[in-house]
Amino acid sequence: MYKNYLFDLDGTLLPMDLKPFIDLYLQAFCQKFAHPLQLPPQTLGQAIWEGAAAMAQNDGSCLNREVFWRAMNRACGKDMRLYEAAFDAFYRNEFVAAKAATRVNPYVAKAVALLKQRGCRLIVATNPIFPEAATFARIRWAALDPDDFSYVTLYDNSSFCKPRVEYYEETCRVCGIRPEESIMVGNDTDEDMCAAALGMDTFLVTDCLINRHDKDIRAFRHGSFRDFYEDICRQ
């Protein structure tokens, strides 16, 4: 038993087909904003990618949110921060178009309910490149409630991204938890399993496996999310 369970979101709590998800997301985003902002859809889509890339390189000197908006401003040639409220409204409304590329795994809600019943601390340790509205929406798509979790990493409360170990150090520090009493559950061999470097145990979820460098997954404790659920039932 662990005191703290950290869960990745996309591909872990929320099974998804990643490329269709990104395509649907960017299509909806550009359809909403390209004409009002007088920007070509290609420019706007590229700006999102550049914002994400900039956050991935954040050195901890400021929040990911600040890095994102600076990159957006450079890519679009205007002060995009003026439209932050409109972006949040998009994530509460039109962003739902990307839900079509996701699905619900019934064992996710069962695992969360069981761990909550046992008094464990649950954290959504998703790569913090989205604002609250977008992240909470995806939690709900997984048939969960943001209130199921004591903390959710977002672009406006985090200064690092995965796979930097500093991301996990920051999350542990903010949450007041000890890595050796924690487990990171995720589907990415790079971004999630690197938590082991901090002393966390890990579980690699293989339902929507991301393994960019063709690592031997036998090096990790692994299985489907159903396997993870059945494992905690036996504990």
Q: Are 176 and 182 in contact (CB under 8 A)?
A: no
- pTM exceeds 0.95 for this model: yes
φ/ψ (deg, to 5) at 69: -70, -35
Calpha distance 148→157 (Å, rounded): 18
Calpha distance 195→202 (Å, rounded): 7
- What pLDDT is attached to residue 1? 81
Pairing of strands 222-223, 201-205: parallel
CATH of 4-16+103-234, one of 3.40.50.1000, 3.40.640.10, 2.30.40.10, 1.10.275.10: 3.40.50.1000
Q: Are 102 and 14 in contact (CB under 8 A)?
A: yes
Token duo for residue 208: 């929507």
- Identity at 119, one-letter amino acid code: G
Token duo for residue 215: 């690592």
Residues 120-163: tens digit of each pLDDT:
999 999 999 999 999 999 999 999 999 999 999 999 999 999 99
Q: Is the dihedral of CA 24, 26, 30, 32 positive or negative?
A: positive
Calpha distance 122→39 (Å, rounded): 41
Token duo for residue 38: 């007088």
Residues 70-100: tens digit of each pLDDT:
999 999 999 999 999 999 999 999 999 999 9
Q: For the chain, which residues make up each domain, given as ranges?
A: 4-16+103-234, 19-99
